[in-house]
Amino acid sequence: MKKFVSLFTDSYRELKSVRTITTAAMFGAVAIVLGMFSINMGNYIRISFSSIPNGIVSYLFGPVVGGLFSGSMDVLKYLLKPTGAFFPGLTLVTVLAGIMYGCMYYRKPVTLRRVLVSKLLVMLVCNVILNTMCLSILYGKGFMVLLPARALKNLVMWPIDSMIFYSMAKALDTMGVFKTIRKVGTARTK
């Protein structure tokens, strides 16, 4: 339990760093650009690659920063390119996803198994159950009417999203990007 709580306290300390804010801002710009190229399939299904920066920020800085980053990016992307009605419940689910990724990635090695498990959990809890519930409330459609198409979309996207995130994270790690970001942060705090 102490280890779990330290994820949040350490992540909160990361939030106070200029390095964290500037790195998150750069990944935020990437997320906005990637969000502009999302594919909408009706009102209920959207395919986007803007979750990659969310996962990377959660990996680098933990659940507190990941949750705040994901939520703020959700609102900012909506303001820049509104699709449908704004619903705060969907933003809260996005915050939860950032927190979940932060809990599963922060200070842990990026492995394919970890990415597959974390993506599956986030897709089941956030995308399939909670987002479908929010869309049901927002559009007045029955939960069970929306669920099959959303579950199928997430089932299909699960290995694709996992492989894309894993490949990007491994490439950035191999190039030394993560090490450089962390080194800059530890050099400044000494």
Per-residue pLDDT band at 46 (split at 50, 70, 90): low
Distance of CA 93 to the CA centre of its chain: 10
CB atoms within 10 A of CB 106: 22
Q: What is the pLDDT of residue 50?
A: 78
60-104: pLDDT as tens digits: 999 999 999 999 999 998 898 887 788 999 999 999 999 999 999
pLDDT tens for residues 125-135? 999 999 999 99
3 state SS for 41-81 = ECCCEEECCCHHHHHHHHHHHHHHHHHHHHHHHHHHHHHHC
Quick one: pLDDT at residue 183? 76
Examine the pLDDT at 47 and tell me if it is beyond 80: no
Round the average pLDDT of the chain to a whole number and report it: 89
Cα 103 to its chain centre, rounded Å, is 12
CA angle, corner 182, sides to 71 and 93, nearest 5? Answer: 15
Task: Determine the pLDDT at residue 187.
Answer: 47
**Residue 54 in this model has a pLDDT that exceeds 80:** yes
pLDDT tens per residue across span 6-35: 999 999 999 889 999 999 999 999 998 887
Residue 43: the pLDDT is: 59
Give the percent of the chain with pLDDT over 70.
93
164 contacts: CB under 8 Å, gap ≥ 6: 49, 52
pLDDT at 8: 94
Outline where the chain has alpha helix (H).
2-15, 18-36, 51-80, 88-105, 112-122, 131-139, 143-174, 177-189
Report, as an integer, the average pLDDT of 109-125: 96
Give 135-172 pLDDT, tens digit per residue.
999 888 899 999 998 999 899 889 988 999 999 999 99
Record the tokens describing residue 147, joined without a space.
């669920």
User: What is residue 82's predicted lDDT score, i.e. its pLDDT?
Assistant: 86
